[in-house]
Structure 1
Amino acid sequence: MKPLEISQEDAKKSKGIYLDVRRNDERSNSHIENDLHIPTKELEDRYDELPKNKLIITYCGGGSRSLYSALFLQAKGYKAKSLTGGYRSYKSE
């Protein structure tokens, strides 16, 4: 696991906020309950909608966009981690 990543088990224990960074068409099929949604392409303009006092757990389909998003959010002063394996991994558990 990379330093920017968080396992599903640790994510569930953390009480963090899940942030879906997938495109709208990807999200329409399914998503993690009670998550927030800001596609990666909109994150630069909308990151200030997120609470700074909570861990933000980013996720996408497989993990690459969520890693980028977590890195971006950390650079902006947020506590952020990418969900290891993305939504596919979460869904299969």
Structure 2
Amino acid sequence: MTEIENVDVESIGAGAKVLDVREDYEWEAGHIEGALHIPMNDLPERVEELDPDEDVYVICRSGGRSFRVVQWLVGNGYTAMNVSGGMGAWLEAGKPMVADNGQEPTVK
């Protein structure tokens, strides 16, 4: 069994590579500016968009999907960390977010 590293939102530094694996409607409602958006089910076809030599912080709504994605990425030679609490924790921490739907950013 692969050891999965869980990190809290406070430990994600500026300029860190964040992979958001939520669905499109979740992303549009609110996301981290500069994050890479690849829905979980699309990742096997789009994994080449990630650099295996770069640390990546994987986030979803609450941490379940991102945990599974981190297991898969680590098993395929990537350095990936699961963001504990996901976008819910990001929002609660008052971290900046942007939305693509013209509304106040939120987590769905």
User: Counterpart of 1:55 in structure 2: which amino acid?
Assistant: D
Larger CA Rg, structure 1 vs 2: 2
When normalised by structure 1's length, the TM-score is 0.89
Tell me, in whole angstroms, the C-alpha distance in 2 between the residues paired with 1:25 and 1:61.
12
Deviations 1:56-90 (A, max 9, x none): 10000010000001111101100001101000101
Relative to structure 1, is the Cα distance of residues 60 and 9 closer, same or farther in structure 2, using a 3 angstrom cutoff? same
User: How far 1:19 sits from its partner (Å)?
Assistant: 0.3
1:5 alignment counterpart: 6
User: Counterpart of 2:79 in structure 1: which amino acid?
Assistant: K
User: How far 1:6 sits from its partner (Å)?
Assistant: 1.1
- Report the aligned-residue RMSD: 1.5
Q: Secondary structure at the match of 2:12?
A: helix
When normalised by structure 2's length, the TM-score is 0.78
Is 1:16–1:54's contact at 8 Å kept on the other side of the alignment? no
Structure 1 stretches (4+) deviating beyond 6 angstroms? none
Structure 1 unaligned spans of 5+:
none
Alignment of 1:8-87 (within 5 A): 8-12=9-13, 15-87=15-87
User: How far 1:49 sits from its partner (Å)?
Assistant: 1.0
Q: Identity of paired residues, percent?
A: 30
Quick check: which one's helix share is greater?
Answer: 1
Deviations 1:10-38 (A, max 9, x none): 2227x530000000011110101100010
